[in-house]
Structure 1
Amino acid sequence: MVFGSVESLFTFYKEYNRLKGFGVVKKCSKKRGCEYARYVSFACDKSRKSTAKNSSKKVDCKCRLNCVVLADGSCRVTSVTSEHNHDLQPSLSCFFSCHGKISKALKRSLEAHDIAGIRPAKRIRLLEVQAGGLDKMGCTPKDCRNYILQQQRMRTLACDVAAIQKFFTSMQMKDDEFFYVIGTDNVAKLRNVVWVHTHYKYVNR
């Protein structure tokens, strides 16, 4: 089989894994002198050999899908091994990290509850009840907590940027030679800040 891109193949195979009840990890390798990954493998998340630290999770499962990336970006499946040496759990697929996904509706609910001042634990419990059970949420409580923390960091960063902008503006009003530049990316996220005080201008001359 040939797919238009590695991403489309990964999406297809990950959905297959979700229905079957196992997780997936992605492994890439380059050919010497090649700028992009030449060979890609998708393996069961229990594929690595067990050690003292992960003996309960890694069982050296041989299930995997191998493909080769062509020059135009498409990829061709070269081999597939579908046998597992462990039990599959389709009913628990939503709890695997590779399958957990927070929907837009769930994100809006978490943000609305945050504005209302509801604590994170109660927010997650409320969403669980509304969905009809943890297995129907489509993600784990940890995914929800990570999203809540991410949004809190973004709000904190936005406040910090506004404070920096206000401080630099006041400095420029006091000193016409004070210079600063605030760099952002295409979605207005802060990337870097550069400022030069008048004192350092004359020191470097």
Structure 2
Amino acid sequence: MQEANKFYSDYGKRCGFGIQTRTSKKDDNNEELRLVCSREGKYVSSIRPEVKTLPSQTNQCPAGVTITRKDDKWFVRIVVLDHNHELCPQTSNLIRANRKLNMHAKHTLEVNDDVDVRINKSFLSMVGEAGGYENMQFMERDARNFIGQHRRSLCKEGDSQVLLRHF
């Protein structure tokens, strides 16, 4: 199951689309895993397409792979390769499902934040280190979100240490 997920994720990155995982368990011996295009969703906007400035995030794309487990054996049941939208392999690493902060980036952001280096400066230094924006695996917003989570966790740790000292 994990191998199929990794394979389809890598395929999506190469082709220029993100993936979502759908699982269902029928009983102890039967299980189904659907790996679908991230634009597979059911959302339908109330705004007419002619009025929109940005295309719809989901357009019920049929592309995906369904694998089924029966009695400890996995079978590929359905494969649909055709998408109903444009694919962009050059920017696939910036699709939300494909963006990842690696351990080096997390560590750099944490260390720089601890010494009060602004997030945009940290991000720009990592862009330079990577050789340009096109080589980045995440966006500045992801870095800001990570630092926000890091700061909240530090606050929680600090609060619990203060509480422990009182007892």
Which residue of 2 is the match for residue 40 of structure 1?
33
Q: Matches of 1:167 and 1:117 in 2, distance apart? A: 30
Identical positions, percent: 26
How many residues align? The count is 160
Counterparts of residues 165-176 of structure 1 (less than 5 Å): 165-168=164-167
Q: Matches of 1:7 and 1:26 in 2, distance apart? A: 11
Structure ranking higher on relative contact order (CA contacts 8 Å, 6+ apart): 2
Q: Matches of 2:96 and 2:12 in 1, distance apart? A: 12
Q: Matches of 2:112 and 2:29 in 1, distance apart? A: 43
Indicate the structure (1 or 2) with the bigger Cα radius of gyration.
1
Q: Matches of 2:111 and 2:138 in 1, distance apart? A: 18
Q: Is the 8 A contact 1:94 1:140 kept in 2?
A: no
Q: Matches of 2:60 and 2:111 in 1, distance apart? A: 44
Counterparts of residues 13-162 of structure 1 (less than 5 Å): 13-31=8-26, 34=27, 38-52=31-45, 56-72=56-72, 75-162=74-161
Q: Matches of 2:44 and 2:123 in 1, distance apart? A: 34
Alignment deviations for residues 68-107 of structure 1 (CA, whole Å, 9 cap, x no partner): 12444x6322121101111110111111111111112111
**RMSD (Å), alpha carbons:** 2.1
| Unmatched 5+ stretches in structure 2 | 48-54
Q: Matches of 2:128 and 2:114 in 1, distance apart? A: 20
**C-alpha spacing 1:19/1:29, structure 2 compared with 1 (3 Å):** same
Q: Matches of 1:132 and 1:53 in 2, distance apart? A: 41
Q: Is the 8 A contact 1:26 1:42 kept in 2?
A: yes
Secondary structure of the 2:79 match is strand
TM-score (norm 2): 0.86
Cα displacement (A) at 1:145 = 1.4
Cα displacement (A) at 1:48 = 2.5
Which residue of 2 is the match for residue 193 of structure 1?
none
Secondary structure of the 1:102 match is coil
**C-alpha spacing 1:36/1:135, structure 2 compared with 1 (3 Å):** farther
TM-score (norm 1): 0.71
Give the stretch that moved more between structures: 155-164 or 132-141: 132-141
Secondary structure of the 2:97 match is coil
**C-alpha spacing 1:46/1:149, structure 2 compared with 1 (3 Å):** same
Secondary structure of the 2:120 match is helix
Give the stretch that moved more between structures: 150-159 or 130-139: 130-139
Give the stretch that moved more between structures: 146-155 or 54-63: 54-63
Residue 11 of structure 1, aligned match among 6, 17, 26:
6
| Unmatched 5+ stretches in structure 1 | 1-5, 169-205
Secondary structure of the 1:67 match is strand
